[in-house]
Structure 1
């Protein structure tokens, strides 16, 4: 019986190439599979499968080259740094995302994770299996493998991972031929027969990559032995299929995405545009895939349409490809593919902040400005980045980079990325207080010196801008630096009136009024964090239950609703900004004449005395905040003295207007119905909040990555004088 090979222990370093060969017309270096297809079309038709296999091998030897001949590609190297040498600094959203990820991994039970592997290998199972795509009837069971330990050095997690590898090692030995999976080999028989088999090689890649990571990152020798034995098994299987049928048949079976196999084909070219693109994907995509700080709650789809929400985004039911609507997953019963890639992404946030270049002078590329610490062993230096928190009212992104020597240091070069989204006009860079010259945005600041205890300070202007969808000039996204801003909206209802516009979408969902705007500042303004002090939620008790004043998402009227769950969309509609000439009275209770009640998600708009929401504040949007029952406030209509906002029956969700009896002597029921408790706001403004003027309603803009269950719109239809 064949078994694992004896293998060397030294893991090889991954390299990213700066290759100027093989560029296509778009200027981007990439592999083009159609070149191989063209070559294969030259193959004489009557040759057999083995000749076809050799024909492909000949093409690859000619184009890729080796030590015996062929074209040799010259390349400069940028090396990824080891995750062991990078730590995320506490306090940033990246660190918090990593910690939430770590909590989830520590929560998981190794015996439950390997339940189906044991079953497949004929080993008694322990405990209960997990659900979702890890359930025993799922065709994707077994894909959930991770590499977290190297970036956290959490030894409890390392013990769990070692236990998982030990169990899988025993499973593979029991099966005896190198095969390792949570489902039987017949799944690959079905695949080769072009029968319905979901994604068998996708899952195998996840297992193999996880085992390889256990070797290269955690030093577990068993991981390498197992993945090599798996490679022997599957390479033989693929070669047999090609020889029996054809290489075309092999690729016909790969009828959709193969998934996750192109990592080593992406080459770092030192072009800042790629770092900019990576930054945008990381901030706006990956960082918003967790539901706040809840461990194990991860998104499947990230909706980008008008009036959408992560909470009801398309997601697959258990055990089947994506078809049905879903939302956030759960820690025990989901395990979609995005759980595997999601926890992988959050486990290695430190792998693309720094890159090294070999040469006589050690060179460090600082590619992402993420608060972190890097142990640069080759240069004898410690590099630490800190970033000042961003606010919508502050037009600068500030980074402090400290570089300190650990002993006898040597001269070293540091290349610091200047993002393309900034401008060198107004930008400031200083080294130990001495001003430096900046080249241009989308370039690197180059510094070579004998480093000691040095401080590099960078101040980059960060501004609002729009980006249009190609071929749809009026449909634009709003960004603040690299941060994509989403407008809090609700629903994508179609227009049913004769005034059709916006491709059938309700203008209130996505139409921005930029008709009289000379610049973006005329229709988008920052929301100061100081306004959080003006936010309130107004509650009442009824039948032993707490109800809260809310704006209806259907027609904008006022209702009473049950207390919402934190992070839910309802928190937006139950929070109001209350402001005016008056301040808070004694004990923090709202008092004063002529206050305005502004819904959180409709900045600049106001609740009217008719109990709906108006685009323009006026006399009919003023209320007098007077004392209600002890510890509460009553809201008197400015246009109807003696009449108040009243919830006659909170359970019935009815909010109306109640007036005092002309004879005086209000009943206890009346006083209770018009008295609201001023509670802490159920929602607050994000530090990067902006207000945008709409044609039918205004929008609160916040970073897409920060949203949880809120409904939002990413692309807006800009109405201008031209349109």
Structure 2
């Protein structure tokens, strides 16, 4: 009992200790002090708990044992965990377990957490220098890095990103659960990181940071907050990429075509450094990045990116055409950044975004009850999502997915010394120990537009209760009563309503937030619009057919929905001459938050589709963004798009495998190898070229491949190279006579007797002639007849 009291006291002290060094305006409540009540969020938390408990910690720790030279205790998981990113899931697992135990007090979770930490400690102790990771060939890589040689490092799959997850997991095990072993391991690991930043020059560090490195700077800053030792803050600065920081701090948006989730964790680190170091430039960079991504680069769900990259802010066409829409990891990290910005500057606009992304992206990325996490959420009309499986899927979005549904309690409430903030309308219970306050929030939101807050107990009664006035409530429409007495509410949306009084046990605060139906176009203003009811994005089920790979297998690309592409011109659209389509969307009284649009949807066979919250749609093809046309222009445009649609559909039907050169994840997924290779962007399309060579491993399990298709750009010339397949030359290319000012594609026949690697793989290698350049190459496809 004495230990438990000490444990509880520890958790009371953590927010105060962090507050003392951050100077934040508001603080989070410890997760232990907020409990979810029955509802959609509680269901998703329990679904997540069941998924996490299905994972085998010995398999997750196996890569760490291998790299530490310890005897094998178990085989590691497959998929990404055994193809280069070995060990990254274990860090997320620690974070998820730490939060789940804080939320649920489930002893099984605590046992898993303590066991995993103990096993990882064996690995760290064996390494002897504080290092802890499963990166293949760890010892060689880091020895070379400390000498300023980054060749091997750059050939591995994002090593710093990988070990950042373990670094963050140890921090979370300490902060959320007070695990002293994790704290000691965290500090040893931080010393290992500082050992790198202290021996490399600033120029070498910036070269090193060109490779994706997660949020190493954030965790180093957190270690400074925990220990008070400034060497960790200095290291956090050293691990901050200036090429990203400098444009942002000067208000310059240079994000087009950058790999999105490479950048967001860096910015979280910038904000953490800004708060701890009182650094205005880092703070300005973080705020500008958030404003740019939220206001100009995010879709209605709060997500961002196409094929993991920031698409051009002035062109969202690929957002509609691609099946690899917003990535879950991106929104996971955008919410982390939003939390920090809000706590330092509690503006309603931060929580408006947080709520939007929470309900319409994060909540939708796990199947309720059944489980399974989503990587890409396509905005393409008529497509679907793929769900992970515990034994086969080890993607980055599985790791962040475990955490997403373990921390819904995190931002429902926040507080200052003498004020409570109600940020989200989620059924929950709160204990504010300093005030002796016990509060219950009962609501069916968003299916109801009301919430009810009851003071169950209070000791120090003189504090301000702040209720969020959401941006989606019209000015002057929100109403609040306290014990049945109407309160004065200033008509200002996207802010907070302050209620000042001496609170008593039994006080009831009732809030009514009228919702309205609105439509919202893509950020570039193009003719696709989403429908929202209040903050909730509505979508419609098209059908449940042809959902290839709905439950992911263990293939490298198992996270992407590779089933049949429905023609966009065959999908339902909005056809009207009104400027406000919301007027034609009517409530359907058959169920809450259900709507119809008979007078708006075309063609006729789709007129009876029902629009429901997107978070309710699973295992189905859906329409979230609707193409909007006027009645007069619809027919002509339909024919034009139909012709293009047919070309796209025919090409997709023939494609066996596809690589987008120059894009980080597609190249990783196809096991790129290279020598003297480089990449860039031209007319918003990524490319790769080489003075030596580069290659990709394409998969053709059924041996159907007949041709190789490669896309070039016409302005390139005097670029001479060979195309090899499994070391056999199939073509020589000279781009000197290429077509001017346009992209073009060439097809190369495969030899009939081509031999496969592992009976299913073909390595396509682009090799420069002496003194010439191979490429640039913009797309590589393996085609069947």
TM-score by length of 2: 0.56
**Equivalenced residues, count:** 469
Offset at residue 258 of structure 1 (A) = 5.7
Offset at residue 696 of structure 1 (A) = 1.3
Q: 2:354 aligns with which of 251, 261, 278?
A: 278
Counterpart in the other structure of 1:252: 210
Does residue 288 (structure 1) correspond to residue 240 (structure 2)? The answer is: no
Counterpart in the other structure of 1:87: 35
Does residue 527 (structure 1) correspond to residue 588 (structure 2)? The answer is: yes
Q: Is the 8 A contact 1:15 1:77 kept in 2?
A: no
Does residue 167 (structure 1) correspond to residue 119 (structure 2)? The answer is: yes
Structural RMSD (CA) = 3.1
Offset at residue 351 of structure 1 (A) = 0.9
Offset at residue 125 of structure 1 (A) = 2.8
Q: 1:342 aligns with which of 386, 398, 401?
A: 401
Offset at residue 701 of structure 1 (A) = 1.7
The one-character-per-residue Cα deviations of 1:113-137 (angstroms, maximum 9, x if unpaired) are 2122222222233344322222375
Q: 1:369 aligns with which of 425, 429, 446?
A: 425
* Structure 1: distance between partners of 2:545 and 2:77: 36
* Structure 1: distance between partners of 2:580 and 2:207: 57
Q: Is the 8 A contact 2:378 2:384 kept in 1?
A: yes
Offset at residue 687 of structure 1 (A) = 4.8
Q: Is the 8 A contact 2:429 2:441 kept in 1?
A: yes
Change beyond 3 A, Cα 1:139–1:169: closer
* Structure 2: distance between partners of 1:371 and 1:235: 43
SS in 1 for 2:120: helix
Does residue 463 (structure 1) correspond to residue 516 (structure 2)? The answer is: yes
The one-character-per-residue Cα deviations of 1:548-589 (angstroms, maximum 9, x if unpaired) are xxxxxxxxxxxxxxxxxxxxxxxxxxxxxxxxxxxxxxxxxx
Q: Is the 8 A contact 1:507 1:696 kept in 2?
A: no
* Structure 2: distance between partners of 1:167 and 1:272: 43
* Structure 1: distance between partners of 2:440 and 2:523: 40
Counterpart in the other structure of 1:307: 382
Larger deviation: 454-463 or 252-261?
Answer: 252-261
Does residue 405 (structure 1) correspond to residue 410 (structure 2)? The answer is: no
Alignment of 1:243-642 (within 5 A): 246-254=204-212, 257=262, 260-261=265-266, 262=268, 265=272, 266-268=340-342, 269-295=345-371, 297-310=372-385, 327-358=386-417, 362-391=418-447, 397-406=449-458, 408-440=459-491, 441-452=493-504, 453-472=506-525, 474-489=527-542, 506-515=568-577, 520=581, 522-529=583-590
The one-character-per-residue Cα deviations of 1:412-470 (angstroms, maximum 9, x if unpaired) are 11101011101255543110010112212222111122211210011111111011224
Counterpart in the other structure of 1:130: 77
Offset at residue 231 of structure 1 (A) = 0.9
Alignment of 1:656-671 (within 5 A): none
Q: Is the 8 A contact 1:140 1:198 kept in 2?
A: no
Q: Is the 8 A contact 1:202 1:258 kept in 2?
A: no
Q: 1:231 aligns with which of 183, 190, 196?
A: 190
Larger-Rg structure: 1
* Structure 2: distance between partners of 1:471 and 1:160: 47
Offset at residue 474 of structure 1 (A) = 3.3
* Structure 2: distance between partners of 1:521 and 1:213: 44
* Higher helix fraction (1 or 2): 2
Change beyond 3 A, Cα 1:139–1:76: closer
Q: Is the 8 A contact 1:140 1:200 kept in 2?
A: no
Q: Is the 8 A contact 2:430 2:439 kept in 1?
A: yes
Q: 1:696 aligns with which of 603, 616, 635?
A: 603
Change beyond 3 A, Cα 1:258–1:187: farther
Structure 1: gaps of 5 or more residues: 1-7, 18-65, 67-72, 311-326, 494-503, 531-685
* Structure 1: distance between partners of 2:422 and 2:614: 26
Counterpart in the other structure of 2:241: none
Alignment of 1:29-178 (within 5 A): 77-90=25-38, 92-135=39-82, 138-139=85-86, 141=88, 142-145=90-93, 146=95, 147=98, 148-178=100-130
Counterpart in the other structure of 1:13: 15
Counterpart in the other structure of 2:140: 186
* Structure 1: distance between partners of 2:472 and 2:365: 24
Counterpart in the other structure of 2:720: none
The one-character-per-residue Cα deviations of 1:198-230 (angstroms, maximum 9, x if unpaired) are 121112111111111111111110101111111
Change beyond 3 A, Cα 1:349–1:413: same
Offset at residue 350 of structure 1 (A) = 0.8
Counterpart in the other structure of 2:337: none
Offset at residue 476 of structure 1 (A) = 1.4
Q: Is the 8 A contact 2:158 2:211 kept in 1?
A: no
SS in 2 for 1:702: strand
The one-character-per-residue Cα deviations of 1:482-541 (angstroms, maximum 9, x if unpaired) are 111123336999xxxxxxxxxx965441421233x58546521222226xxxxxxxxxxx
Counterpart in the other structure of 1:34: none
* Structure 2: distance between partners of 1:82 and 1:346: 16
* Structure 1: distance between partners of 2:523 and 2:180: 50
Q: Is the 8 A contact 2:61 2:87 kept in 1?
A: no
Change beyond 3 A, Cα 1:76–1:343: closer
Larger deviation: 341-350 or 265-274?
Answer: 265-274
Higher relative contact order (CA 8 A, sep 6+): 1
SS in 1 for 2:341: coil
Offset at residue 390 of structure 1 (A) = 4.3
Offset at residue 478 of structure 1 (A) = 0.7
Change beyond 3 A, Cα 1:202–1:246: closer
Q: Is the 8 A contact 1:514 1:523 kept in 2?
A: no
SS in 2 for 1:276: helix
Counterpart in the other structure of 1:666: none
TM-score by length of 1: 0.60
Q: 2:170 aligns with which of 205, 208, 211?
A: 211
* Structure 1: distance between partners of 2:422 and 2:616: 25
Offset at residue 301 of structure 1 (A) = 0.8
Q: Is the 8 A contact 1:308 1:711 kept in 2?
A: yes
Change beyond 3 A, Cα 1:411–1:212: same
Offset at residue 98 of structure 1 (A) = 0.5
Offset at residue 328 of structure 1 (A) = 1.6
* Structure 1: distance between partners of 2:627 and 2:43: 34
